[in-house]
Structure 1
């Protein structure tokens, strides 16, 4: 027996019906359902299977009928307790109402429910979206999950992005949704915003969410199963900020939302109820915050962001990837920075008869390859380069619209820059020559440790 095995500690908890086991771990831990049934954010756990949770995970195992849980690790969990009060009954009722709407849509060849989940920071918006997605999948639906949160790394892709994907299988207990089609069952559509707060470039964010909404609604119309299954929209906490009211209104409008779910914010519930008083087709639902939701520190958020980026390139212990490093001359790269910085002249200062082509935040500036790219995460647009590339000092209107209008093909990480030799080293998830695509730079950096 190894020393690690001999030093492992095993603890058991017995849960009654409708109780929840909440745990936080600082070292790797294995969790097993010894008896009974249980679920993690709507994904049913297999009895007897040892699930591995990496350091830093915060989980909540819920049981409808009771179960026995065993946790094995070299250290005691940082936090581990059983809770009797949970919001799961209200979450189930919400699912049943949505499922009834799906059945109606299926029978009448119409759109299923389009739900947006709102609330401040750390109230469980993403957890609820996963629960609703998992419950829907278990009943034969294939709902569209939309992730508008650009902060920590989201459900489907990297930080700084907004995305959508059709979900055809339950969320993986150990790996989550990840960025892999193996996990989600489909390849997500991703647009690169480039910043972690939506208030940084509000007009750019509005432009991109509108593009994503067009893509999402097209997905619904192309597949009857997805259409009646509907969509769940997970949102950033900044939607509760008064500065983001116009962004929220645009999102509700462009996605055709017919149900607004608000977690843990009485004021927002009252405001939106009044705002949409003349929209009887739009239901507004208030839910309580779960007592198991943990406030995330800035340090923990940075850890989540770093882990999410690493997983994109290297995979997870369960699904490892073999990333490829390659060195390219500066001449082979065409990099654009999203969202112009600096002061912009007002429209009144433009020459008579001339109008601004695009909002400055939706413009792209040329970035000459140099040390400024070191450690950057560059998004690769699906927009292909012209045959000879672009050599103008700034992007043209057509080029801007082309890049902004296309979703992403993937990401690369700039691991080294040699200004003397005019060469750059990049990391990609897969081997092969870098396609002739525009690379987009935002504010996202990652130092590989």
Structure 2
């Protein structure tokens, strides 16, 4: 098969989609290019499957590719804003080093398919290229980042991201070109944060406490800061957004606007929240100037406050909106940026493909790193399984601090992905719901008539003597 050639001018990107079972090979022939902040090596073959990604260049480059994909070349001047945000964060990290304080805690918000995760990838990659160790937090339970779906994760990043595996795959045993990332994981088990709001907030609190504990032990991680990839549902829930801001002690917010005229955050009661203070981002890499609020200023990149006010006035005239809602963003810097060009829509089918691939590679490895999972058969009665209570069920309980309920093992477990948590089956339910996730097992078959269950383990051994949590996540071999 002959190779196709793509020549990119400065500040252009080449986007590609590899769907179903198709495969794509990409080569950087000359110039400099990167995938979400990770620089590509000249002459090396990069292989992709089931992915939507892009190659960007600040200086121009020549690429070659072969295989099956949907591809397009786009101008991408918006990446300069991403670089400016990086330098603003780096300025905050330097100040944290000088004062022996905490680095920036950045919350990235946006609607679906606006490029939140891509922005987080890029900012994390840029930070590691500056010898930083940022902590990447994923609060989007549908997006599997270093864990199967249904989990909240926090991962200190100390090495470059693997561009071929879009950094969403969980760490596995075996040879690797990059360092394995060891994540702090708390299972939520459900795929909608609003199904069990109290349980979701409980897991966020535990994750934030775990990050704080790790930062107290490692000054490099503390000063490098935290980058939080948030679910789009936070834009519509004042309660959860406030909870995230307070739990993680966020110092900065980036809101990716899907529509340029939308300079406000819509909330669940159809009100809006105006943001009084705007972070100003510098376009000068070499001479960032930091103000009292740790933001970096330059006139031509200032978020135009008159336009913000015009937008607020426009929405205030709508019958749906009464007055701006105060979200208490005191001392939190906020930046609005436009949706980056080339962002691809991840429909439900593609999202399920990604989730399935991550679960499959958790047990079986990838084409580059094969793993050998272990299958066992045991009695159904040997499992102690809990499930999250839905919000309506919690509201009916006398003790509203109980967030899990025990389930009788039955055929309903078939095809379930069960989280193995760091708690004994005999422990109190409150200890179990606060326990860290150690790993996952997959129920291949559950036979009620014979009271037997067939389980896939990621490593050889016996069934772990730990409490298990089930939820919405299923996997069919």
Coarse TM-score class (shorter-chain normalised): 0.7 to 0.9
Contact preservation (8 Å) 1:165, 1:184: no
Tell me how far 1:421 sits from its aligned partner. 2.2
Return the match for 2:399 from 346, 357, 379.
357
Per-residue CA deviations over 1:224-283 (Å, capped at 9, x if unaligned) read: 000000000001111112xx2101100000100000010015222972515679755310
Per-residue CA deviations over 1:80-128 (Å, capped at 9, x if unaligned) read: 2211134210000000000011011111110000000000000000010
Relative distance call for 1:324 and 1:116 in structure 2 (3 A) is: same
Which residues of 2 match residues 61-72 of structure 1 at below 5 A?
61-72=55-66
Return the match for 1:137 from 111, 128, 131.
128
Residue in 1 aligned with 2:114? 123
Secondary structure (helix, strand or coil) at the match of 1:320 reads: coil
Relative distance call for 1:86 and 1:157 in structure 2 (3 A) is: farther
Which residues of 2 match residues 67-82 of structure 1 at below 5 A?
67-73=61-67, 75=68, 77-78=69-70, 80-82=71-73
Contact preservation (8 Å) 1:412, 1:427: yes
Tell me how far 1:344 sits from its aligned partner. 6.4
The answer to whether the aligner puts 1:374 opposite 2:430 as a matched pair is no
**Alpha-carbon distance between aligned partners in 1 of 2:394 and 2:152, rounded to the nearest angstrom:** 26
The answer to whether the aligner puts 1:165 opposite 2:194 as a matched pair is no
Residue in 2 aligned with 1:293? 343
- Which stretch shows the higher mean deviation, 212-221 or 249-258? 212-221
Secondary structure (helix, strand or coil) at the match of 1:162 reads: strand
**Alpha-carbon distance between aligned partners in 1 of 2:328 and 2:187, rounded to the nearest angstrom:** 35
TM-score when normalising by structure 2: 0.83
**Alpha-carbon distance between aligned partners in 2 of 1:313 and 1:231, rounded to the nearest angstrom:** 29
Return the match for 2:35 from 40, 47, 69.
40
The answer to whether the aligner puts 1:210 opposite 2:200 as a matched pair is no
Which residues of 2 match residues 339-418 of structure 1 at below 5 A?
339=389, 356-359=398-401, 362-386=402-426, 399-418=428-447
The answer to whether the aligner puts 1:246 opposite 2:247 as a matched pair is no
Tell me how far 1:340 sits from its aligned partner. 5.1
Secondary structure (helix, strand or coil) at the match of 1:59 reads: strand
**Alpha-carbon distance between aligned partners in 1 of 2:246 and 2:137, rounded to the nearest angstrom:** 15
Residue in 2 aligned with 1:326? 376
Which residues of 2 match residues 12-31 of structure 1 at below 5 A?
12-26=5-19, 27-31=22-26
Relative distance call for 1:345 and 1:49 in structure 2 (3 A) is: closer
Secondary structure (helix, strand or coil) at the match of 1:150 reads: coil
Tell me how far 1:36 sits from its aligned partner. 0.9
Residue in 2 aligned with 1:104? 95
Contact preservation (8 Å) 2:387, 2:471: yes
Return the match for 1:180 from 154, 171, 176.
171
- Which stretch shows the higher mean deviation, 296-305 or 63-72? 296-305
Contact preservation (8 Å) 1:152, 1:302: no
Relative distance call for 1:57 and 1:97 in structure 2 (3 A) is: same
**Alpha-carbon distance between aligned partners in 2 of 1:346 and 1:256, rounded to the nearest angstrom:** 31
Contact preservation (8 Å) 2:387, 2:469: yes
Contact preservation (8 Å) 2:264, 2:275: no
Secondary structure (helix, strand or coil) at the match of 1:413 reads: strand
Q: What is the RMSD of the two structures over their aligned residues, measured on CA atoms?
A: 2.0
- Which stretch shows the higher mean deviation, 23-32 or 172-181? 172-181
**Alpha-carbon distance between aligned partners in 2 of 1:230 and 1:344, rounded to the nearest angstrom:** 35
Contact preservation (8 Å) 1:166, 1:185: no
Q: Which runs of 5 or more residues in structure 1 are unaligned?
A: 1-7, 348-355, 387-397
Relative distance call for 1:101 and 1:185 in structure 2 (3 A) is: farther
Residue in 1 aligned with 2:223? 228
Contact preservation (8 Å) 2:195, 2:390: no
TM-score when normalising by structure 1: 0.88
Residue in 1 aligned with 2:289? none
**Alpha-carbon distance between aligned partners in 2 of 1:257 and 1:276, rounded to the nearest angstrom:** 17
